Amino acid sequence: MQNRSFSHVKVGLSMTALLSTNLGSLPLLGRGKVRDLYAVGDALLLVATDRISAFDHVLATGIPGKGKILTQISLFWFHHLADLAPNHLISADIAEFPAELQPFRDQLEGRSMLVRRAQMFPVECVARGFLAGSGWKEYKAGHTVCGIPLPEGLLDGSRLPQPLFTPATKSPDGQHDENISFAATESIVGADTAAELRRLTLAIYRKAAAHAESCGLILADTKFEFGTVAGKIVLADEALTPDSSRFWEAAAWRPGGAQPSFDKQFVRDYLERIQWNKQAPAPALPQEVVERTLSKYQEAFRRLTGTEPRL
């Protein structure tokens, strides 16, 4: 059921965390782990809140300004990658939004995108240039990632011989996705579409990784969502944010363990320290963890775009 008011939570910084939105009578289609989705005529409105999740649970504390940083990073990448793949963006300028959205500027400014409705493919398109996360776990078990054979002797954090397309299923309840083989992807979307999704995913990854490298960062892996608009494949949802990608500090890269990263690792580390059982309700976060996590998101933005986020 739609909330009757939007929710800001004070976390001790000069800003407050926006945890949920309410746009009056505008139809709310759903709330994900981070984004609220509304119908706006023939278009959709994506609003990135300051919610943060870990271990498949949304935490009680938000990260103030996180949604704005995620949205602005996605806008940067949509522009940077436009020569490789069209995207679903109509506008992120509230002045260009329909009249019914204007009263909600306080909730939408800097964190919302008006987008075209796309027929989404039911697979996550993952690109990996380095061994980490679920890829590392599978490799340890049998020297493969999504069934793709890899040479022996690789370490946690090793660069792969070449970037890999390692798709995953989309969990219907928004929880945990499962890695699948390319053959399974072909059976879901068809052979021609699977081949095109692989081509687009790897082309985008290579261009983004090259840009990240020029900024002193490693793009270890990332995931994309694609759909079709008027029969053409478009890049949708978000793009190459710290929520969907692993960015590492290039100067500190040392294969053989966890790498210094620009994401919510401070949150994960804290939750491991307090030995939370990873069951609802999710705990709140102390101020220090909130501030250190926000600083990582801000630094990623600065490094990638060369500008300051508008918070």
**Per-residue pLDDT reduced to its tens digit, 260-297:** 999 888 898 899 999 999 998 999 999 999 999 999 99
Q: Is residue 288, in this structure, part of any structural domain at all?
A: no
Residues 148 and 105 in one domain: no
CA dist., res. 174 & res. 107, Å (int): 24
Task: Give the pLDDT band (50/70/90) at residue 170.
Answer: confident
CA distance 17 to 193: 40
For residue 193, tell me if it sits in a domain: yes
Q: Are residues 177 and 249 in the same domain?
A: yes
- Mind listing the pLDDT tens digit for each residue in 209-256? 999 999 999 999 999 999 999 999 999 999 999 999 999 999 999 999
pLDDT for the residue 44? 98
Q: What is d(CA 274, CA 276) in angstroms, rounded to the nearest whole number? A: 6
Domain count, the chain: 2
Q: Among 70-84, 162-176, 255-269, which stretch is predicted with the lowest mean pLDDT?
A: 162-176
Question: Both 153 and 240 in a single domain?
Answer: yes
Percent of the chain's residues with pLDDT above 90: 84
Domain check: are 151 and 104 in the same one? no
Does residue 183 sit within a domain? yes
* Same domain, yes or no: 15 and 133: no
Burial category of 45 from C-beta neighbours within 10 Å (exposed 0-12, middle 13-18, buried 19 and up): buried
The residue from 89, 117, 145 where one domain ends is 117
Q: How confident is the model at residue 55 (pLDDT cuts 50, 70, 90)?
A: confident
Token pair of 166, please? Answer: 């390692």
Domain boundary among 117, 136, 155: 117
pLDDT above 70 as % of the chain: 94
Q: Is residue 154 part of a domain?
A: yes
The Cα 243–Cα 32 span in angstroms is 13
> CA of 270: how far to CAs of 123, 134, 213, in Å?
31, 21, 29
Q: Are residues 125 and 258 in the same domain?
A: yes
169 and 77 within one domain: no
Q: What is the pLDDT of residues 182-216, one digit of tens each?
A: 999 999 999 999 999 999 999 999 999 999 999 99
- The mean pLDDT of 294-306, rounded to a whole number, is 95
Model pTM? 0.91
Mark residue 127 as left, alpha or beta (left: phi above 0; alpha: psi -120 to 50; beta: remaining).
beta
User: Would residue 267 count as lying in a domain?
Assistant: no
Q: Tell me the C-alpha distance between 205 and 144, whole Å.
A: 20
What length is written for the chain?
Answer: 311
CB 296 within 8 A of CB 266: yes
Q: Which of 117, 150, 182 is the last residue of a domain?
A: 117
Backbone angles phi, psi at 174, to 5 degrees: 75, 15
Same domain? 62 vs 179: no
Residue in the block written with tokens 């790498």? 259
> Which pLDDT does position 4 carry in this prediction?
37
Residues 150, 88 within the same domain = no
Are residues 67 and 93 both part of a single domain?
yes
- To the nearest 10°, report the CA torsion of 9, 11, 17, 23: 10
In whole angstroms, give the CA distance from residue 194 to residue 192.
5
CATH code of the domain covering residue 78: 3.30.200.20
CATH number, position 188: 3.30.470.20
Note whether residue 298 is domain-resident. no
Residue 225: give the domain boundaries. 120-262
Q: Are residues 239 and 140 in the same domain?
A: yes
In a domain, 1, yes or no: no
In a shared domain, residues 34 and 88: yes
Give the pLDDT confidence score for residue 135 in this predicted structure: 93
